[in-house]
Amino acid sequence: MGARARRGAAGVGEALSARRALLAWYRANRRDLPWRRTRDPWAIWVSEAMLQQTRVETVIPYYERFLRRFPDPAALADAELDEVLGLWAGLGYYARARSLRAAAAQVVECHGGRVPDSVEALQTLPGVGRYTAGAVASIAFDRPAPVVDGNVARVLSRLRGIREPIDGAAGRAQLWAEAEVLVRGPAPGDLNQALMELGARICLPRAPRCPACPLTRECAARAAGDAEALPRRAPKRRPRRVHAVAALVVRGGRALAVQRPPRGLLGGLWELPGGEVATARAADAAALARILRERLGLKAGAALPCGSIQHGFTHRTLRLRVFRCEAKPGRVRLAGWDRHRWVTERAFAALPLGTLARRALALASRREGEDRS
């Protein structure tokens, strides 16, 4: 595969030395985490899906609840999306849950309900990329498959002195080449977890704990005295500012909940009806009335302002102004949502909601008259 020819790729001797040090350190210092007490590929796969961009401490209770309800792919494949998203609510990045459910269905249909044991087969499943396939194959099946996540990228960038931005093609290629060299040998699953653990606990983004690192003597960044300067990334664009309005629309003691389409941002989750507006100044009751008319076919009475919420997404920052209003008689005609329900406010809160929708519902449910924006 040409890894040896790539700049920065470790030689066999360097790799063996680093492997021995990493494995010894990991076996003496690894955290006792629930997914490390099993070789069940399904449990390992669920943990990897949840751990993407989410802290270990946050994941543990979700992981345990999820596996109690869905102990194998067949159980998840048979579940309603609302129930799956409800158990995922609060973890964020809901596409992970939708993809995991779709992949479970494919495992049942194409693999007899058994998680495939090769990287190639795993990567045919929805939502399973090179990292997840490598993690499951190595940890559950002892396949010498490399992994590169944020923690691993930081460790390898510093260890081998990789100066290319790791979010560019050249930097990514170097990282995967290094990971592939290191994973060859006994206990590939432990080796991959050692890299992850080292990045999470020792090779930190700021103030790395170099004296406690088992790779101090091999570390190029430590020798150069600039560990905190690595890894390098291309400059990020500033998040785009977006403004929107939403309302708790009530009628006869019940509130209107709308469900987003299954694909796209926050797909399949429920929320308060509303929509984007051009500017912060345009986020007013008149804009809300227009959106409710155009997207729901409803006329509403006077809108009571309840406050504003700011919420960050990956590439944008949303400022949402929240209202409460009474809906006049009329049939709901959805435009842009999949389903709607008239529910009690308590039942609304029990639906699968994203963090933003949950905050907006709480704000609108206070029933206070003053604008807290």
pLDDT tens, per residue, the chain with 373 residues: 333 333 345 666 788 999 999 999 999 999 999 999 999 999 999 999 999 989 999 999 999 999 999 999 999 999 999 999 999 988 988 999 999 999 999 999 999 999 999 999 999 999 999 999 999 999 999 999 999 999 999 999 999 999 999 999 999 999 999 999 999 999 999 999 999 999 999 999 999 999 999 999 999 999 999 999 999 998 888 889 999 999 999 999 999 999 999 887 788 899 999 999 999 999 999 999 999 999 999 999 999 999 999 998 878 899 999 999 999 999 999 999 999 999 999 999 999 998 999 999 999 997 543 344 4
Q: 240-364: CATH homologous superfamily?
A: Nucleoside Triphosphate Pyrophosphohydrolase (3.90.79.10)
- C-alpha 326/C-alpha 180 separation (Å) is 60
pLDDT at 116: 98
State residue 246 phi and psi, 5-degree precision: -150, 160
Q: Any residues with CB less than 8 A from the CB of 237 and at least 6 apart, and which?
A: 315
Q: Where are the domains of the chain?
A: 3-229, 240-364
pLDDT at 122: 98
Does the active-site annotation cover 48? yes
- Exposed, middle or buried: residue 6 (CB in 10 Å: 0-12, 13-18, 19+)? middle
Q: Any residues with CB less than 8 A from the CB of 71 and at least 6 apart, and which?
A: 42
Q: Pairing between strand 240-251 and 274-277?
A: antiparallel
- Check 48, 178, 180, 197 and give the catalytic one: 48
Does the pTM of the predicted model rise above 0.85?
no
Q: 3-229: CATH homologous superfamily?
A: Hypothetical protein; domain 2 (1.10.340.30)
- C-alpha 310/C-alpha 183 separation (Å) is 43
pLDDT at 1: 38
Q: Please report, as a single letter, which amino acid is at residue 232.
A: R
pLDDT at 90: 87
